[in-house]
Amino acid sequence: MTAQEPNIDFLGLLNTVKVRNSSDKQKKLGDCIEQELQEVLLKVFECKKDGEIKITLKIKAENGNELNILGNVDKKAPKGQIKQNIFYQDSRGKLYLDDPNQMKIVKNLDDYKVQEAKQ
């Protein structure tokens, strides 16, 4: 009588089944779940909005006693809001980060610090 291979449990599936992550890279199911979970957790913390991980195992009957197990990991990570990009325009239509119509008290803060340090 030959020794029988140990059966594969759920943890075995996590280390065996290959899936594609959100970056379209092939990974083991367990590694993919871990990576996607970390990304969602970071985004939830950063954005203070809900996220979601959905793990799907599709089991297909093949020939005889063969099974084809396909895994999929979907994530819904919250997206942060884009900060406003404020620019100022002069009368000629040129763009500036500072309002060209507003008087400058200090032209260059670094120059001011250097002069202040010399005194």
Q: Where are the alpha helices (DSSP H) in the chain?
A: 10-14, 29-47, 109-118
Residues composing the chain: 119
Please tell me the distance from the alpha carbon of residue 73 to that of residue 33, in angstroms, as a whole number: 7
User: Residues 53-111: pLDDT tens digits?
Assistant: 999 999 999 999 999 999 999 999 998 877 888 888 888 888 888 888 887 776 666 66
Q: What is the pTM of this model?
A: 0.64
The residues spanned by each domain of the chain are 10-76, 88-118
User: Residues 9-40: pLDDT tens digits?
Assistant: 999 999 999 999 888 999 999 999 999 999 99
Quick one: which of 44, 38, 106 has its CA closest to 80?
44
- Specify the pLDDT at position 26: 94
Average per-residue pLDDT in the chain?
86
Please tell me the distance from the alpha carbon of residue 53 to that of residue 23, in angstroms, as a whole number: 15
